[in-house]
A and B are shown apart, each in its own frame.
Chain A
Amino acid sequence: MKITEQQVRYVADLANLSLTDPEIHALAHDMDEVLIYMDKLADVDTEGVEPMAQVLFETDETATLRDDVERPDRLFTSNIATANAPQAGQGYFKVPKVIERA
């Protein structure tokens, strides 16, 4: 076992998920399987290979930058912006009173 149930609870908490005990048990097992599978990558010889988190052409300067130009054609009205919000009013998104989770 690589993943403990305690770790699953911690990750679930960070992800704002409430899980039942059976779900935590099952997830610990599933995540374990995933990590064991990923471990196969450790067999590859990566000596001298730079980690590649993002794809980038060989270049001295990033070529994909924007100029400071407004795009009014892409602006939403507040009605459209909040259309899918569970609650909205006076142009705002409305959310339950924000209280820090203890």
Chain B
Amino acid sequence: MTLTATPDQLAKYEVVIGLEVHVQLATRTKIFCGCPTSFGAPPNTNVCPVCLGLPGALPVMSKPAVEMAMLGALALNCRINPTSRMARKNYFYPDLPKGYQISQFELPLAEHGYVDVVTANGPKRIGVTRVHMEDDAGKSTHDGFKDSDRFTYVDLNRSGTPLIEIVSEPDMRNADEAYEYMVYVKQAMEFLAVSSCDMEKGHLRCDANVSVRKWGAAEFGTRTETKNLNSFRFLKQAIEFEVSRQVAVVESGGRIVQETRLFNPDLGETFSMRSKEAAHDYRYFPEPDLVPLRISDAWRERLQSTMPELPAQKRARYATEFGLKPYDAEVLTATREIGTYYEKAVAASGDPKTTANWVMGDLLGALKNDGKEITESPVTAEHLGDLVKRIASGELSGKLAKEIFPKMYAEGLAPGVIIERDGLKQISDTGAIDKIIDEVLAANPKQVEQYKGGKTTVIGFLVGQIMKATKGQANPGVVNDLLKAKLG
């Protein structure tokens, strides 16, 4: 039975969190060979002598992998080292065919970065210690085969997939900060298109180093490392569980053991993975099969100049340029695709705020109902912008637009086509409206009397009748003005 701490006990401790985030790079081929990185191929078919670790096979570094890693590092405000080198990390595991992982140790690709996040407690800067490149291992399957009680099945298709590992400073003080840091990293990598960050496919996984110490203590407490957290919810749950467990252990006179732990999502608990206290001795040494990575200023600057606008910059621009509220700016920058769609729609509509409401409300709502991404939207950004433009110009009432939008969504047609076809044009022609008002007033003499007797609220009823008579197509502003003038 695992102990959990009481709120009083928790209040006595400061929490210290550092994260190691692994990001799968979006190259077509593996880091050291030309095998595809595609997901879902039959087992052991995307393999060659290099990624199988066959004797004599030699790795050759992928240039786009290096460039994606550099972009990722630059987005985390890291300094790119002009010289870095690959190193062998030696350990035995059946899904590691070479008997070592090619990673980086003394001279990583990039160092000394930081990330600025905003949490409930305000802004916070979190240090990024380093970003280094490495190859992924294969995949072990422990269950699901009829002899799974005796065998582990190994598929090496993933072996050699390019990864970057992003190591943070132990700067986070609660699960929310860790969450926001992870969101920043994920969004940045997505915006840069250096990773698809599909967490279900393991493109983004996170190890959380957690320790606790009494407030004011100079030394860090002993930390545990909870591995392979592959969702934001698990990250938060694992940290919160681990903090509670550690405080309870210390409060009951126990000692935290430095160990690797795993998270059980069903129980929401972490559990010890290795009983050995001694850290693994990986015997790192420089990889003799690969030359050092030399990155010139010119190369770095060339990449820097291709950097797209990152989410935080986009949010700031939406606030100043479009006058959007922080929440709206956040929704519209959640992914690069939503931002691109919104900006295209604004370009077509000329009305950023109304466009924002339509994208966030009607469009994202409809897409969510259908389980579709914005890239699959049946309504193009140009068509949505066109619709908003017609509202802004007074050609369409909001009510009419709400009627037209579902048709655009269902049929993928431009608003003009639907308006024309279904005769949904708003009537602003005062002559036509005038005639209808006269008819409505003639048909409702009682209400006219009431209005003239001082009960001005009946105007709502009369407007309703007029709108009904025009099938909602009359311009409500024009109706109001004309009606008031007539009732004098």
Q: Is the CB of B44 within 8 A of A54?
A: no
Q: How far is the CA of A64 from the CA of B152 in the complex (A)?
A: 37
Whether B288 sits at the interface, judged by CB under 8 Å, is yes
Q: Is the interface of B mostly helix, strand, loop or mixed?
A: loop
Closest CB of chain A to B327's CB: distance in Å?
39
Q: Is the CB of A71 within 8 A of B60?
A: no
- Contact partner of B151 (CB less than 8 A), chosen from A71, A74, A76, A94, is A94
Closest CB of chain B to A18's CB: distance in Å?
13
> Beta-carbon contacts of B431-471 to A below 8 Å, as 1s and 0s?
00000000000000000000000000000000000000000
Q: Is the CB of B151 within 8 A of A14?
A: no
- Contact partner of A56 (CB less than 8 A), chosen from B28, B92, B275, B291, is B291
Q: Is the CB of A54 within 8 A of B42?
A: no
Whether B94 sits at the interface, judged by CB under 8 Å, is yes
Q: Is the CB of A65 within 8 A of B154?
A: no
- Contact partner of B62 (CB less than 8 A), chosen from A65, A75, A78, is A65
Q: How far is the CA of A82 from the CA of B153 in the complex (A)?
A: 12
Interface size class of A (residues with CB under 8 A): 35 or more
Task: Give the nearest-CB partner of A87 in chain B.
Answer: B151
Interface residue count for B (Cβ, 8 Å)? 59
Closest CB of chain A to B285's CB: distance in Å?
8
Q: How far is the CA of A96 from the CA of B293 in the complex (A)?
A: 39
- Contact partner of A100 (CB less than 8 A), chosen from B27, B274, B283, B299, is B274
Q: Is the CB of B290 within 8 A of A68?
A: no
Whether B33 sits at the interface, judged by CB under 8 Å, is yes
Q: Which residues of B contact A60 (CB under 8 A)?
A: 294, 296, 298-299
Whether B193 sits at the interface, judged by CB under 8 Å, is no
Q: Is the CB of B286 within 8 A of A53?
A: yes
Q: Which residues of A contact B64 (CB under 8 A)?
A: 67-68
Closest CB of chain A to B170's CB: distance in Å?
27
Q: Is the CB of A75 within 8 A of B45?
A: yes
Q: Is the CB of A91 within 8 A of B28?
A: no
Q: Is the CB of B29 within 8 A of A69?
A: yes
Check A69/B34 contact, CB under 8 A, given A54-B291, A95-B94: yes
Task: Give the nearest-CB partner of B150 in chain A.
Answer: A97
Which residues of chain A (68-102) have a CB below 8 Å from chain B? 68-71, 74-78, 81-82, 87, 89-98, 100, 102
Extra inter-chain contacts (7) besides given A95-B151, A100-B274, CB under 8 Å: A61-B296, A62-B294, A78-B42, A81-B44, A91-B44, A96-B150, A97-B149
Spell out A's residues near B (CB within 8 Å): 14, 16, 53-56, 59-62, 64-71, 74-78, 81-82, 87, 89-98, 100, 102
Supply 14 A–B pairs (Cβ within 8 Å), ascending by A: A14-B281, A14-B283, A54-B291, A62-B295, A70-B36, A78-B44, A81-B45, A87-B151, A89-B153, A92-B43, A93-B154, A94-B153, A97-B142, A97-B152
Q: Which 3 A-B pairs have the closest CB atoms?
A: A71-B34, A53-B286, A60-B296
